[in-house]
Chains A and B, each alone.
Chain A
Amino acid sequence: MKFGVVVFPGSNCDHDAYYTFANVMKKPVAFIWHDSQDLAGCDAIILPGGFAHGDYLRTGAIARFSPVMKSVEKFAKGGGMVFGICNGFQILLEAGLLPGAVMRNSGLRYICRHVHVRIEQTDTPFTSAADAGQIIRIPIAHNDGNYNVDEATLAELEKNRQVIFRYTSADGSDDAAGNPNGSMSNIAGICNRERNVAGLMPHPERAVEAALDSADGLVIFKSMVESLVGAAKATA
């Protein structure tokens, strides 16, 4: 089992994702430079947070053309596990691996604080270790997290249970008060129809130890590890 963290020029949560797998989950992990098309035999790929290529033009718009993305697309199409966090989510949207787009936060300011997120679906490799409806407290840190998509696609997403993370208030109600950035239907994260590619605006890798104020993000990484273990057993 090996995790790969892609490093784009301007990635800045690459170390945090790496640390989570190496030091908290204690699993093998490697950095993958954006210029390389070699995924180094990794079993799951993380697109970390940051400002890839400065996020010039649009968030993720340039990064999706980095050479590594060709391999990531191929890997995803072949059923490989791909997880985009924050800027990584934005890149997946630009690459068309996930539907929709993010716009500037409705408050027009960068926001960094803990929010509440409900795990809506547990039949994905990113959420399998969670209880359905479990509410986790993890931080957001972004300027452009306002998720938008056309009505038809939104209906599709809901119908196919692709909305796997939703912002809520502390008490679990998905009201406007719990929505930090204006995202449609309080969407915090989605997966593709095949459920092997997911993106999430909040940062679970910043909530993996009690010392960091919350360890609620762990459940996502546990899910990923367990899913790979399960997949390995299934093919063994």
Chain B
Amino acid sequence: MATAPTEIKVTPEIAAEHGLTPDEFARVKKILGRDPNITELGIFSVMWSEHCSYKSSKVHLKRLPTRGKLVVQGPGENAGVVDIGDGLVAAFKIESHNHPSYVEPFQGATTGVGGILRDIFTMGARPVAVLDSLRFGELAPGKGTSGDDAANNRRILDGVIRGVAHYGNCFGVPTIGGEVCFEPCYSQNPLVNALALGIARKEEIFLAKAKGIGNPVIYVGAKTGRDGIHGASLLASAEFTEESKQKRPNVQVGDPFMEKLLLEACIEAMQTGAVVAIQDMGAAGLTCSTMEMASRGGTGIEIDLAKVPQRESGMTPYEIMLSESQERMLLVAERGREREVLDVFKKWGLDAVVVGTVTEGGLAKVMHGAHVAAEIPAHPLAEEGPVYQRPIGQPPLRKETAADWYKFAGEKTNLTENFKKLMGSPAIASKRWITEQYDTMVRTNTLAGPGASDAAVIRLKDPQTGEVKRALALSTDGNGRWCQLNPRVGAMHAVAEAARNVATSGARPIAATNCLNFGSPEKPEVMWQFSEAIDGLTVACNELGTPITGGNVSFYNETLGKSIYPTPVIGILGIIEDASRVVKIGFREVGDAIILLDGLAADAASKQVPVNEPAQEFSSSEYSKHVGGIVAGEPPAIDLAAEKRLQELLIALATDGLVQSAHDISDGGVAVAIAESCFASAGGRPEVAALSAKVALGDADNAAGAASAEFALFEERGARAIVSVKPSLVARVLETARQYKVTAEQIGQVTGDKTLRIEYKGHTMIDSPVEELREVWTHSLERAVKASAVAAD
């Protein structure tokens, strides 16, 4: 198919091979008023693929809140743009590269990072940070994971990490955060979601709208080759089968050096003032960039493929239009000033060729020398593609009883060994082995890199003077397990946790981006999950004041008919007005008070908060999964008003400099949060001894307290955080919490006796040298992966 000559007669069978349904094929013929030729068919098939057209998700995405005071550009452009003050804007977006990363982990991940970086600098913004949200199958054999699966998962993880590192490091953008999670369902369908953030002056933002009849269309960057043909339509828009490995040639190859040159050249070219519009060639390459630029600008476009720089000879129009070779851009320059633009690219040693012009009338005409290769009305192609209201079917309710849920240990059971096990689980363990492979510091803006604060924080240098005033915080979150159990509540938690992480660092959350990873939209239960998740995101983003400014949808995350957990990943951006007020998670001084903040408890009695059975709720926790081997029940109940109160309080405490540290309570509950704050007291320095803590939970006199010690220590209900506070400021912190209607209770203090002690209702539950726990936490992930070197080679 890839070498199909243009003369090939398009039949319904060939249309079907291109993934077009009979109805879609009929629509193509209607738009054209005739049968398409093979190149045109190829163009329609990629533009109308799920990946490019959002045909199954569009009707649902409309429900998401996308407007806000600070939103300069919402969904529909290459990235969302928000106002961050002093004439600066931030462009940011998250995108998936899941399927390619399974087929070829290293290149899949590199091109995922490369693609999102291009989206950012296409807008005129210089990329300043990358975060990666990664999901893999389990690293060790166990329930639902065979030995072969585990070995394969370790190989995929290694390739993806190397790929992310290679591209970001060489390009020169710091990879400052993200998450890595493990579930058996991602074994043959890892998720690689990359978020990039860029900064620009507000008036320098570029859009991808062709304008000015007669203006030249310029192709810049790498030459076009036969790689990645049909990446978007065949790879990203269909589930995996046994033959998927044969799709390896459909994965593109990334060249971060080329991209770095492209970045510098594009930014320099934009500064000439001669660039009218610019669009990167990502999914569906030249097809998508030409058609979308014309469609958005309400113009036509004419290009000559014979002029396109090509890596190999004899490429057909079909191949040139559908190639997904990386590191390419299409731009429209002002007529008469093309020389200025071409000179910049020449300086950077890049190909830049005028390949066409902006035309009147809305027709996209693709020439190949003297021959017309394709002639398509751009707007109907880009905007009048199929839109599906796919059938939605709620799966039968899970019939669970207490017998399916986690059984709490007796009140007096010492939990130290279980705790150690939890600290060493890949989900909780330090990700340092991974993040040390990333350049986290280039550009010298990183105020809080991986693990230092709940959010990744970078400072903003004024592009002209280099002066620093504000900082930006970013966090990505998503809990597939919770979304599997309850997609609506799970999605709300993703937003709440990302926003909470940002607020804990001291930043005010202002906007969100989302990456929606789901199974096949052709399955009613997947569409139900999708619709529920959208509703959850909508409610939570509205309540927490973080409009969605962009993102992407990744369907068909299935292998051999089995869907992944529905996994919406949310990235939230926040602003810290004073860059010197960043709050980190590490304890600072012996004798500081540890205070538990709980947004929910304050008025739980007065509100109708849906509360699950403790055991039911606990069964969805990390502890239940890792220690008890049980994944069931419901995600914790969520109260967004409580979240909002807590976040406002955290921002106020940071702004007034009242806390020494702050850490939200999430995976592994309050016990893990306290341990992590101990470890982080060493500032990531192995040679520095960690501070310790002594904490007492559960009021011995209060019979209505938590159900058990395990519940109290490890439950993952949101709207909570721990802060450490200088003794002299405790009263002020408690008073501030009262003002914000958040319950605050001193539960212990930071100690220097090197022992972590946690009591529950007067009984010691955890008692361990903190360095012993730290050792397990620090090295478990590396040990789990290193099993690979032996097993996989």
Q: Is the CB of A13 within 8 A of B440?
A: no
How many residues from B make CB contacts under 8 Å with A?
38
Give the distance to chain B from A37, nearest Cβ to Cβ, in Å: 16
Given A9-B348, A110-B437, also A212-B257 (CB < 8 A): no
Residues of B within 8 A of A20 (CB): 444
Residues of A within 8 A of B443 (CB): 15-16
Residues of chain A from 178 to 230 with CB closer than 8 A to chain B in the complex: 203, 205-206, 208-209, 211-213
- A55 to B256 CA separation, bound complex (whole angstroms): 11
Q: Is the CB of B260 within 8 A of A56?
A: no
Q: Is the CB of B441 within 8 A of A212?
A: yes
Segment of B163-171, B229-237, B503-511, B706-714 in the binding face: B163-171
Given A35-B347, A211-B459, 4 more pairs with CB closer than 8 A: A12-B172, A22-B466, A49-B442, A212-B446
| Residue B726, interface by CB 8 Å | no
How many residues from A make CB contacts under 8 Å with B?
38
Residues of B within 8 A of A109 (CB): 162, 437
- A15 to B461 CA separation, bound complex (whole angstroms): 11
For B247-261 the 0/1 string (1 means CB < 8 A from A) is 000000001111011
Q: Is the CB of A56 within 8 A of B446?
A: no
Residues of A within 8 A of B349 (CB): 9
- A10 to B347 CA separation, bound complex (whole angstroms): 13
Best-surrounded residue of B255, B257, B437, B685 (most CB of chain A within 10 A): B257
Give the distance to chain B from A171, nearest Cβ to Cβ, in Å: 8
| Residue A113, interface by CB 8 Å | yes
Q: Is the CB of B260 within 8 A of A112?
A: no
Residue positions of B touching A, CB distance < 8 A: 162, 165-166, 169-172, 255-258, 260-261, 264, 347-349, 436-444, 446-447, 459, 461, 466-467, 579-580, 683-685, 687
- A204 to B294 CA separation, bound complex (whole angstroms): 48
Q: Is the CB of B466 within 8 A of A211?
A: no
| 5 A-B residue pairings within 8 Å (CB atoms) | A12-B170, A16-B443, A110-B439, A170-B685, A209-B444
| Residue A23, interface by CB 8 Å | yes
Residues of A within 8 A of B442 (CB): 12-13, 16, 49, 141, 206
B580: nearest chain-A partner, CB-CB: A211
Given A9-B349, A13-B172, A110-B437, also A19-B261 (CB < 8 A): no
Given A22-B466, A50-B172, A51-B170, also A114-B685 (CB < 8 A): yes
- A53 to B166 CA separation, bound complex (whole angstroms): 15
Residues of chain A from 6 to 32 with CB closer than 8 A to chain B in the complex: 9-10, 12-13, 15-16, 19-20, 22-23
Residue positions of A touching B, CB distance < 8 A: 9-10, 12-13, 15-16, 19-20, 22-23, 35, 49-51, 53-56, 109-114, 139, 141, 143, 169-171, 203, 205-206, 208-209, 211-213
Q: Is the CB of A56 within 8 A of B257?
A: yes
- A9 to B459 CA separation, bound complex (whole angstroms): 26
Q: Is the CB of B260 within 8 A of A10?
A: yes
Q: Is the CB of A141 within 8 A of B169?
A: yes
- A109 to B347 CA separation, bound complex (whole angstroms): 33
Best-surrounded residue of A35, A49, A51 (most CB of chain B within 10 A): A51
Give the distance to chain B from A187, nearest Cβ to Cβ, in Å: 21
Q: Which of A110, A209, A212 contacts B165 (CB 8 A)?
A: A110
- A49 to B257 CA separation, bound complex (whole angstroms): 14
- A35 to B73 CA separation, bound complex (whole angstroms): 38
- A54 to B349 CA separation, bound complex (whole angstroms): 13
Q: Is the CB of A112 within 8 A of B444?
A: no
- A212 to B176 CA separation, bound complex (whole angstroms): 13
Residues of B within 8 A of A110 (CB): 165-166, 169, 437-439
- A208 to B256 CA separation, bound complex (whole angstroms): 28
Q: Which of A15, A113, A205, A208 contacts B436 (CB 8 A)?
A: A113
Q: Is the CB of A19 within 8 A of B260?
A: no
Residues of A within 8 A of B438 (CB): 110, 112
Given A109-B437, A170-B687, also A54-B444 (CB < 8 A): no
Q: Which of B258, B436, B683 contacts A213 (CB 8 A)?
A: B683
Residues of A within 8 A of B170 (CB): 10, 12, 51, 54-55
Q: Is the CB of B171 within 8 A of A54?
A: no
Give the distance to chain B from A45, nearest Cβ to Cβ, in Å: 20
Give the distance to chain A from B168, nearest Cβ to Cβ, in Å: 10
A137: nearest chain-B partner, CB-CB: B685
B258: nearest chain-A partner, CB-CB: A54
Q: Is the CB of B260 within 8 A of A12?
A: yes
Give the distance to chain B from A143, nearest Cβ to Cβ, in Å: 8
Residues of B within 8 A of A208 (CB): 444
Residues of A within 8 A of B264 (CB): 9
Give the distance to chain B from A153, nearest Cβ to Cβ, in Å: 30
Give the distance to chain A from B445, nearest Cβ to Cβ, in Å: 9
A210: nearest chain-B partner, CB-CB: B580
Residues of B within 8 A of A35 (CB): 347
Q: Is the CB of B444 within 8 A of A212?
A: yes
Q: Which of A139, A141, A211 contacts B447 (CB 8 A)?
A: A211
Q: Which of B347, B439, B684, B687 contacts A169 (CB 8 A)?
A: B687
Q: Which of B256, B261, B466 contacts A9 (CB 8 A)?
A: B261
Residues of B within 8 A of A53 (CB): 257
Q: Is the CB of A54 within 8 A of B459?
A: no
Residues of A within 8 A of B439 (CB): 110, 112, 141
Give the distance to chain B from A84, nearest Cβ to Cβ, in Å: 17
- A35 to B172 CA separation, bound complex (whole angstroms): 21
Best-surrounded residue of A53, A112, A113, A211 (most CB of chain B within 10 A): A112
- A113 to B461 CA separation, bound complex (whole angstroms): 23
A19: nearest chain-B partner, CB-CB: B466
- A170 to B686 CA separation, bound complex (whole angstroms): 9
